[in-house]
Amino acid sequence: MRHIVNAQQFSVEFMEELFNRARYYKGRPKMLVANPLALPNLVGRLVLKLFYEPSTRTRLSFEAAAHWLGMGVVSTENAAEFSSAAKGETIEDTIRVVAGYGFSVVVMRHKEEGAAQQAAKLDVVPIINAGDGSGQHPTQALLDLFTIYERCGRLDNLQVLIGGDLARGRTVRSLAYLLGKYPGNQLTFLAPEPLQIGPDILDYLARHKIGCERITAVGQAPWTKADVVYWTRLQIERPLPNGKTLSPEQVEELKPAYTLTPAHLARMKTGAVLMHPLPRVGEIATTVDADPRAAYFAQAHNGLYVRMALLEHVCGLW
Protein backbone atom coordinates (compact mmCIF):
# COMPACT_ATOMS: atom_id res chain seq x y z
CA MET A 1 0.00 0.00 0.00
CA ARG A 2 1.41 3.42 -0.95
CA HIS A 3 1.25 6.27 1.54
CA ILE A 4 2.46 9.88 1.19
CA VAL A 5 3.40 10.93 4.70
CA ASN A 6 6.49 13.13 4.64
CA ALA A 7 8.96 14.73 2.26
CA GLN A 8 11.92 12.58 3.31
CA GLN A 9 10.32 9.54 1.69
CA PHE A 10 10.73 10.76 -1.91
CA SER A 11 13.77 9.86 -3.99
CA VAL A 12 15.10 12.15 -6.69
CA GLU A 13 14.09 9.50 -9.28
CA PHE A 14 10.54 9.43 -7.92
CA MET A 15 10.27 13.20 -8.18
CA GLU A 16 11.61 13.18 -11.73
CA GLU A 17 8.92 10.71 -12.78
CA LEU A 18 6.23 12.60 -10.84
CA PHE A 19 7.18 15.87 -12.54
CA ASN A 20 7.13 14.18 -15.96
CA ARG A 21 3.59 13.01 -15.29
CA ALA A 22 2.57 16.45 -13.97
CA ARG A 23 4.06 18.11 -17.04
CA TYR A 24 2.11 15.73 -19.25
CA TYR A 25 -1.14 16.77 -17.57
CA LYS A 26 -0.24 20.43 -17.66
CA GLY A 27 0.21 20.24 -21.42
CA ARG A 28 -3.20 18.64 -22.04
CA PRO A 29 -6.40 20.61 -22.56
CA LYS A 30 -9.11 20.27 -19.92
CA MET A 31 -12.73 20.23 -21.03
CA LEU A 32 -15.69 20.36 -18.75
CA VAL A 33 -18.08 18.02 -20.52
CA ALA A 34 -16.24 15.07 -22.01
CA ASN A 35 -13.22 14.59 -19.79
CA PRO A 36 -10.24 13.74 -22.03
CA LEU A 37 -7.90 13.13 -19.10
CA ALA A 38 -9.92 10.37 -17.41
CA LEU A 39 -7.87 7.21 -17.03
CA PRO A 40 -9.76 3.95 -17.65
CA ASN A 41 -8.02 2.38 -14.64
CA LEU A 42 -9.18 5.16 -12.34
CA VAL A 43 -12.69 5.91 -13.62
CA GLY A 44 -15.21 5.20 -10.89
CA ARG A 45 -12.61 4.76 -8.14
CA LEU A 46 -13.15 6.87 -5.04
CA VAL A 47 -11.07 9.41 -3.13
CA LEU A 48 -12.04 10.34 0.44
CA LYS A 49 -11.10 13.83 1.57
CA LEU A 50 -10.95 13.92 5.33
CA PHE A 51 -10.15 17.51 6.36
CA TYR A 52 -10.01 18.44 10.03
CA GLU A 53 -8.53 21.89 9.28
CA PRO A 54 -9.45 24.67 6.84
CA SER A 55 -8.09 24.50 3.31
CA THR A 56 -8.72 26.08 -0.07
CA ARG A 57 -5.94 25.10 -2.48
CA THR A 58 -5.11 21.63 -1.19
CA ARG A 59 -8.73 20.62 -0.83
CA LEU A 60 -9.98 21.96 -4.15
CA SER A 61 -6.97 20.96 -6.24
CA PHE A 62 -7.15 17.38 -4.94
CA GLU A 63 -10.85 17.34 -5.68
CA ALA A 64 -10.31 18.75 -9.19
CA ALA A 65 -7.40 16.34 -9.75
CA ALA A 66 -9.61 13.38 -8.87
CA HIS A 67 -12.33 14.70 -11.16
CA TRP A 68 -10.00 15.15 -14.14
CA LEU A 69 -8.69 11.61 -13.68
CA GLY A 70 -12.24 10.31 -13.74
CA MET A 71 -12.36 9.46 -10.03
CA GLY A 72 -15.22 10.18 -7.67
CA VAL A 73 -14.78 12.21 -4.48
CA VAL A 74 -16.45 11.84 -1.10
CA SER A 75 -15.52 14.50 1.40
CA THR A 76 -15.97 15.82 4.86
CA GLU A 77 -14.89 19.39 5.41
CA ASN A 78 -14.46 20.54 8.98
CA ALA A 79 -14.21 16.93 10.13
CA ALA A 80 -13.15 18.18 13.57
CA GLU A 81 -16.71 19.38 14.05
CA PHE A 82 -18.79 17.28 11.66
CA SER A 83 -17.21 13.84 12.05
CA SER A 84 -17.16 11.58 15.10
CA ALA A 85 -13.87 13.25 16.08
CA ALA A 86 -16.18 15.75 17.81
CA LYS A 87 -17.41 12.83 19.95
CA GLY A 88 -13.86 11.77 20.77
CA GLU A 89 -13.26 9.07 18.15
CA THR A 90 -9.57 8.36 17.49
CA ILE A 91 -7.98 8.77 14.04
CA GLU A 92 -7.23 5.07 14.04
CA ASP A 93 -10.87 4.09 14.51
CA THR A 94 -12.05 6.55 11.86
CA ILE A 95 -9.52 5.21 9.36
CA ARG A 96 -10.37 1.56 10.15
CA VAL A 97 -14.03 2.36 9.48
CA VAL A 98 -13.60 4.32 6.22
CA ALA A 99 -11.18 1.69 4.91
CA GLY A 100 -14.20 -0.60 4.62
CA TYR A 101 -16.08 1.76 2.29
CA GLY A 102 -14.04 1.06 -0.80
CA PHE A 103 -11.89 4.20 -1.07
CA SER A 104 -8.74 3.97 -3.16
CA VAL A 105 -7.11 6.90 -1.33
CA VAL A 106 -7.73 8.97 1.79
CA VAL A 107 -6.43 12.54 1.56
CA MET A 108 -6.18 13.77 5.12
CA ARG A 109 -5.47 17.13 6.77
CA HIS A 110 -5.26 17.25 10.54
CA LYS A 111 -4.21 19.72 13.22
CA GLU A 112 -2.03 17.20 15.06
CA GLU A 113 1.54 16.62 13.93
CA GLY A 114 1.99 12.91 13.13
CA ALA A 115 -1.70 12.27 12.41
CA ALA A 116 -1.08 11.10 8.83
CA GLN A 117 1.70 8.81 10.04
CA GLN A 118 -0.66 7.28 12.58
CA ALA A 119 -3.25 6.67 9.87
CA ALA A 120 -0.71 5.26 7.41
CA LYS A 121 0.69 2.90 10.04
CA LEU A 122 -2.57 0.95 10.05
CA ASP A 123 -1.93 0.21 6.36
CA VAL A 124 -5.61 -0.39 5.66
CA VAL A 125 -6.09 2.29 2.97
CA PRO A 126 -3.53 4.52 1.15
CA ILE A 127 -3.11 7.82 3.00
CA ILE A 128 -1.96 11.15 1.58
CA ASN A 129 -0.86 13.72 4.15
CA ALA A 130 -2.44 17.03 3.14
CA GLY A 131 -0.87 18.82 6.14
CA ASP A 132 -0.46 17.66 9.75
CA GLY A 133 -0.32 20.56 12.22
CA SER A 134 3.14 22.14 12.26
CA GLY A 135 4.55 18.86 10.93
CA GLN A 136 4.69 18.56 7.16
CA HIS A 137 2.89 19.27 3.91
CA PRO A 138 4.64 16.97 1.45
CA THR A 139 2.33 17.45 -1.53
CA GLN A 140 2.76 21.23 -1.26
CA ALA A 141 6.55 20.81 -1.23
CA LEU A 142 6.34 18.69 -4.39
CA LEU A 143 4.38 21.36 -6.23
CA ASP A 144 6.81 23.97 -4.90
CA LEU A 145 9.72 22.01 -6.32
CA PHE A 146 7.90 21.49 -9.62
CA THR A 147 7.44 25.28 -9.83
CA ILE A 148 11.09 25.97 -8.96
CA TYR A 149 12.19 23.60 -11.72
CA GLU A 150 9.81 25.23 -14.18
CA ARG A 151 11.09 28.73 -13.33
CA CYS A 152 14.79 28.11 -12.62
CA GLY A 153 15.45 25.14 -14.91
CA ARG A 154 17.26 23.20 -12.17
CA LEU A 155 16.87 21.94 -8.61
CA ASP A 156 20.52 21.99 -7.56
CA ASN A 157 22.98 24.81 -6.83
CA LEU A 158 20.19 27.19 -5.89
CA GLN A 159 20.37 30.06 -3.41
CA VAL A 160 17.07 29.90 -1.57
CA LEU A 161 15.82 32.52 0.87
CA ILE A 162 12.96 31.25 3.05
CA GLY A 163 11.22 33.81 5.24
CA GLY A 164 8.32 34.20 7.64
CA ASP A 165 6.98 31.81 10.26
CA LEU A 166 9.39 28.89 9.99
CA ALA A 167 8.66 27.42 13.42
CA ARG A 168 5.03 26.62 12.66
CA GLY A 169 4.89 26.65 8.86
CA ARG A 170 4.75 23.05 7.65
CA THR A 171 5.31 23.90 3.97
CA VAL A 172 8.82 25.24 4.60
CA ARG A 173 9.73 22.18 6.64
CA SER A 174 8.77 19.82 3.81
CA LEU A 175 10.41 22.08 1.23
CA ALA A 176 13.69 22.14 3.17
CA TYR A 177 13.72 18.33 3.21
CA LEU A 178 13.26 18.23 -0.56
CA LEU A 179 15.86 20.92 -1.33
CA GLY A 180 18.24 18.93 0.85
CA LYS A 181 18.15 16.09 -1.67
CA TYR A 182 19.88 18.12 -4.41
CA PRO A 183 23.58 19.04 -4.25
CA GLY A 184 24.87 22.56 -3.93
CA ASN A 185 21.72 24.23 -2.61
CA GLN A 186 22.24 27.02 -0.06
CA LEU A 187 19.36 27.83 2.28
CA THR A 188 18.93 31.05 4.24
CA PHE A 189 16.20 30.99 6.88
CA LEU A 190 14.98 34.48 7.72
CA ALA A 191 12.74 34.80 10.78
CA PRO A 192 12.70 36.47 14.18
CA GLU A 193 14.14 34.17 16.84
CA PRO A 194 10.91 32.67 18.21
CA LEU A 195 9.78 31.81 14.68
CA GLN A 196 13.03 30.29 13.45
CA ILE A 197 13.29 26.89 11.73
CA GLY A 198 13.61 23.89 14.05
CA PRO A 199 16.87 22.07 14.86
CA ASP A 200 15.56 18.85 13.23
CA ILE A 201 15.66 20.57 9.83
CA LEU A 202 19.13 22.02 10.46
CA ASP A 203 20.41 18.54 11.46
CA TYR A 204 18.95 17.01 8.32
CA LEU A 205 20.52 19.67 6.09
CA ALA A 206 23.89 19.29 7.81
CA ARG A 207 23.75 15.51 7.28
CA HIS A 208 23.04 16.13 3.58
CA LYS A 209 25.89 18.66 3.38
CA ILE A 210 23.57 21.51 2.45
CA GLY A 211 24.84 24.96 3.41
CA CYS A 212 22.37 26.89 5.53
CA GLU A 213 22.21 29.90 7.81
CA ARG A 214 19.62 31.43 10.09
CA ILE A 215 19.24 35.20 10.08
CA THR A 216 16.81 37.48 11.87
CA ALA A 217 17.16 40.83 10.11
CA VAL A 218 15.41 41.39 6.80
CA GLY A 219 18.22 43.79 5.89
CA GLN A 220 20.78 40.95 6.13
CA ALA A 221 18.96 38.77 3.60
CA PRO A 222 20.78 37.88 0.37
CA TRP A 223 18.20 39.57 -1.86
CA THR A 224 20.59 40.10 -4.76
CA LYS A 225 21.87 36.51 -4.73
CA ALA A 226 18.67 34.52 -4.20
CA ASP A 227 17.35 32.38 -7.05
CA VAL A 228 14.25 31.56 -5.03
CA VAL A 229 12.54 33.69 -2.37
CA TYR A 230 9.89 31.65 -0.51
CA TRP A 231 7.68 33.74 1.77
CA THR A 232 5.14 32.57 4.36
CA ARG A 233 2.48 33.98 6.66
CA LEU A 234 2.42 34.10 10.46
CA GLN A 235 0.61 30.97 11.64
CA ILE A 236 -1.11 32.65 14.59
CA GLU A 237 -3.62 29.79 14.92
CA ARG A 238 -0.89 27.36 16.06
CA PRO A 239 1.10 27.18 19.30
CA LEU A 240 4.82 27.88 19.15
CA PRO A 241 7.17 24.97 19.90
CA ASN A 242 8.94 24.79 23.29
CA GLY A 243 6.38 27.01 25.00
CA LYS A 244 7.79 30.16 23.35
CA THR A 245 5.29 32.96 22.93
CA LEU A 246 4.79 35.97 20.77
CA SER A 247 2.49 38.68 22.10
CA PRO A 248 -0.02 40.39 19.77
CA GLU A 249 2.12 43.54 20.13
CA GLN A 250 5.24 41.64 18.97
CA VAL A 251 3.29 40.28 16.00
CA GLU A 252 2.18 43.77 15.02
CA GLU A 253 5.77 44.99 15.36
CA LEU A 254 7.06 42.24 13.08
CA LYS A 255 4.60 42.81 10.29
CA PRO A 256 6.12 45.85 8.53
CA ALA A 257 9.61 44.31 8.40
CA TYR A 258 8.24 41.05 7.00
CA THR A 259 6.02 42.60 4.35
CA LEU A 260 7.47 42.24 0.86
CA THR A 261 7.04 45.24 -1.40
CA PRO A 262 8.27 46.27 -4.87
CA ALA A 263 11.33 47.73 -3.08
CA HIS A 264 12.42 44.21 -2.09
CA LEU A 265 11.81 42.92 -5.60
CA ALA A 266 13.91 45.74 -7.01
CA ARG A 267 16.88 44.12 -5.27
CA MET A 268 16.14 40.61 -6.58
CA LYS A 269 17.76 39.10 -9.69
CA THR A 270 15.86 39.29 -12.98
CA GLY A 271 15.65 35.51 -13.21
CA ALA A 272 14.67 34.96 -9.56
CA VAL A 273 11.30 33.60 -8.49
CA LEU A 274 9.09 34.75 -5.62
CA MET A 275 6.93 32.02 -4.13
CA HIS A 276 4.37 31.65 -1.33
CA PRO A 277 2.19 28.63 -0.49
CA LEU A 278 -0.76 30.99 0.12
CA PRO A 279 -2.92 32.15 1.78
CA ARG A 280 -1.12 35.47 2.15
CA VAL A 281 -2.47 37.78 4.78
CA GLY A 282 -0.66 40.99 3.99
CA GLU A 283 2.97 39.76 3.97
CA ILE A 284 3.28 40.24 0.20
CA ALA A 285 1.91 43.57 -1.00
CA THR A 286 -0.54 43.18 -3.89
CA THR A 287 1.55 45.75 -5.78
CA VAL A 288 4.08 42.94 -6.25
CA ASP A 289 1.64 40.69 -8.15
CA ALA A 290 2.28 42.19 -11.58
CA ASP A 291 6.02 41.48 -11.35
CA PRO A 292 6.85 38.51 -13.63
CA ARG A 293 8.90 36.99 -10.80
CA ALA A 294 5.82 36.69 -8.58
CA ALA A 295 4.93 33.03 -9.11
CA TYR A 296 2.52 32.27 -6.26
CA PHE A 297 -0.64 31.95 -8.33
CA ALA A 298 1.10 29.86 -11.00
CA GLN A 299 2.52 27.80 -8.12
CA ALA A 300 -0.97 27.16 -6.73
CA HIS A 301 -2.18 26.14 -10.20
CA ASN A 302 0.64 23.62 -10.52
CA GLY A 303 -0.87 21.87 -7.50
CA LEU A 304 -3.54 20.42 -9.75
CA TYR A 305 -1.09 18.63 -12.05
CA VAL A 306 1.24 17.44 -9.31
CA ARG A 307 -1.72 16.06 -7.36
CA MET A 308 -3.08 14.27 -10.44
CA ALA A 309 0.28 12.54 -10.78
CA LEU A 310 0.30 11.73 -7.05
CA LEU A 311 -3.19 10.20 -7.14
CA GLU A 312 -2.11 8.04 -10.08
CA HIS A 313 0.95 6.91 -8.15
CA VAL A 314 -0.89 6.07 -4.95
CA CYS A 315 -3.41 4.11 -7.02
CA GLY A 316 -0.53 2.05 -8.41
CA LEU A 317 -0.54 3.32 -12.00
CA TRP A 318 3.16 4.08 -12.07
Q: Does the annotation count 137 as an active-site position?
A: yes
Three-state SS sequence of the chain = CCCECCHHHCCHHHHHHHHHHHHHHHCCCCCCCCCCCCCCCCCCCEEEEEECCCCCHHHHHHHHHHHHCCCEEEEECCHHHHCHHHHCCCHHHHHHHHHHHCCCEEEEEECCCCHHHHHHHHCCCCEEEEEECCCCCHHHHHHHHHHHHHHHCCCCCCEEEEECCCCCCHHHHHHHHHHCCCCCCEEEEECCHHHCCCHHHHHHHHHCCCEEEEECCHHHCCCCCCCEEEECCCCCCCCCHHHCCCCHHHHHHHHHHCCECHHHHHHCCCCCEEECCCCCCCCECHHHCCCCCECHHHHHHHHHHHHHHHHHHHCCCC
- Minimum distance between the CB of residue 201 and ligand NCD, rounded to whole angstroms? 15
Nearer residue to ligand NCD within complex by CB, 6 or 186:
6
Nearer residue to ligand NCD within complex by CB, 170 or 264:
170
Tell me the residue length of the chain: 318
- Minimum distance between the CB of residue 128 and ligand NCD, rounded to whole angstroms? 13
By beta-carbon distance, which residue lies closest to ligand NCD? 277
Nearest 10 degrees: Cα torsion 138, 143, 147, 153: 70
Nearer residue to ligand NCD within complex by CB, 140 or 185:
140
- Minimum distance between the CB of residue 54 and ligand NCD, rounded to whole angstroms? 8
- Number of Cβ within 10 Å of residue 179's Cβ equals 27
Catalytic residue (choose from 58, 94, 139, 232):
58
Which positions touch ligand NCD (CB under 6 A)?
57-58, 131, 137, 140, 170-171, 233, 277-278
Nearer residue to ligand NCD within complex by CB, 10 or 52:
52
- Minimum distance between the CB of residue 235 and ligand NCD, rounded to whole angstroms? 6
Catalytic residue (choose from 21, 59, 67, 109):
109
Per-residue burial over 15-44, b = 16 or more CB atoms within 10 Å of its CB, e = otherwise: beebbebbbebbeeeeeeeeeebebeebee
Q: Does the annotation count 49 as an active-site position?
A: no
Nearer residue to ligand NCD within complex by CB, 42 or 190:
190
Q: Does the annotation count 109 as an active-site position?
A: yes
Catalytic residue (choose from 87, 209, 270, 286):
87
What φ, ψ does residue 184 adopt, rounded to 5°? 85, 0
Nearer residue to ligand NCD within complex by CB, 137 or 307:
137
Q: Does the annotation count 171 as an active-site position?
A: no
Nearer residue to ligand NCD within complex by CB, 42 or 161:
161
Catalytic residue (choose from 3, 137, 181, 280):
137
Q: Does the annotation count 21 as an active-site position?
A: no
- Minimum distance between the CB of residue 44 and ligand NCD, rounded to whole angstroms? 28
- Minimum distance between the CB of residue 170 and ligand NCD, rounded to whole angstroms? 5
Supply the residues annotated as catalytic: 57-58, 87, 109, 137
